[in-house]
Chain A
Amino acid sequence: SQTIHQWPATLVQPVGSPLSLECTVEGTSNPNLYWYRQAAGRGLQLLFYSVGIGQISSEVPQNLSASRPQDRQFILSSKKLLLSDSGFYLCAYERGGAEETQYFGPGTRLLVL
């Protein structure tokens, strides 16, 4: 069966510090991978998606970057966090082929102070 992991679950970071959030998927090969951000009480904003190793598409210009060093690993990073980077970060995968459903990880809650 497939599973998706995210860590850490919660993170409190000072403004200007770096960030690295990790997402890994098990049980499927060559998935499409996604990073979303969700502000409190709001919908999901797509940040990045990846259809393969080293292939990253950015949906919005921002302070964040993403990398996919391995087939089932997706990393969200920042060199210097801003207050506005606070939020709930969700990773999701979509199985290859005709699969259209996205499966979400448990999320990382980031608070930038």
Chain B
Amino acid sequence: SQQGEEDPQALSIQEGENATMNCSYKTSINNLQWYRQNSGRGLVHLILIRSNEREKHSGRLRVTLDTSKKSSSLLITASRAADTASYFCATDTGRRALTFGSGTRLQVQP
């Protein structure tokens, strides 16, 4: 299976609710990143958390990292319809390229 795997595969919530997505990985990492992709578009970087960090915030985003469990979570608070997109985690293991998971498709109903 992939280095980074997101859970759930799909998530549907109402506007104003919080959305939580999880990512698990298998090998040691230097950092873990979250990206967002609107349908049919390129990916946009959201946030990077290093292996020695446990939590990071950026606006309505909160990312946690548990290296002992090899997992990360992305929390989007007070979701908006515009947050509808696919969200990917990507791990940096020190090789020259990131390894992406298969993503979580988030649908925020207005």
A→B interface (CB under 8 Å): 32, 34, 36, 41-44, 46, 49, 51, 57, 59, 88, 90, 92, 100-107, 109
B67 at the interface (CB under 8 A from A): no
A residues within 8 A CB of B25? Answer: none
* A43 lies within 8 A of B100 (CB): yes
Contact bitstring B34-52, A, C-beta under 8 A = 1, else 0: 0100001111110010000
Q: Which of A49, A101, A106, A107 has the most CB of B within 10 A?
A: A101
Q: Which of B11-19, B56-64, B77-85, B90-98 contacts A (4 or more CB under 8 A)?
A: B90-98
Residue of B nearest to A39 (CB): B102
Q: Which residues of B contact A41 (CB under 8 A)?
A: 105
Please pick, from B31, B33, B41, B102, the residue contacting A43 in the complex, using a CB distance under 8 A.
B102
In contact, B92 and A100 (Cβ under 8 angstroms): yes
Is chain A's binding surface mostly helix, strand, loop or mixed?
strand
A101 to B32 alpha-carbon distance, docked (Å):
10
CB < 8 Å neighbour of A102 from B41, B98, B101, B103: B98
Closest chain-B Cβ to A19's Cβ sits at a distance in Å of: 19
- Contact between chains at A109 and B43 (CB < 8 Å): no
How far, in whole Å, are A79 and B100 apart by their CA atoms in the complex?
28
Min Cβ gap B92→A in Å is 6
Of listed A36, A43, A102, A107, residue having the most chain B CB within 10 A:
A43
Residue of B whose beta carbon sits closest to that of A57: B96
Tell whether, in the assembled complex, residue B97 and residue A49 are in contact, meaning their CB atoms are under 8 Å apart.
yes
Among candidates A43, A59, A92, A107, residue contacting B2 with C-beta atoms closer than 8 Å: A43
What distance in Å separates the Cβ of A9 from its nearest Cβ neighbour in chain B?
10
Contacts of B33 in A (CB 8 A): 100-102
Chain A residues whose CB sits within 8 angstroms of the CB of B97 once the complex forms: 34, 46, 49, 59
B32 to chain A, nearest CB (A): 10
**CB of B12, distance to nearest CB on chain A (Å):** 15
Across-interface contacts of A88 in B (CB, < 8 A) = 40
| B92-A104 in contact (CB<8A) | no
Q: How far is the CA of A32 from the CA of B42 in the complex (A)?
A: 17
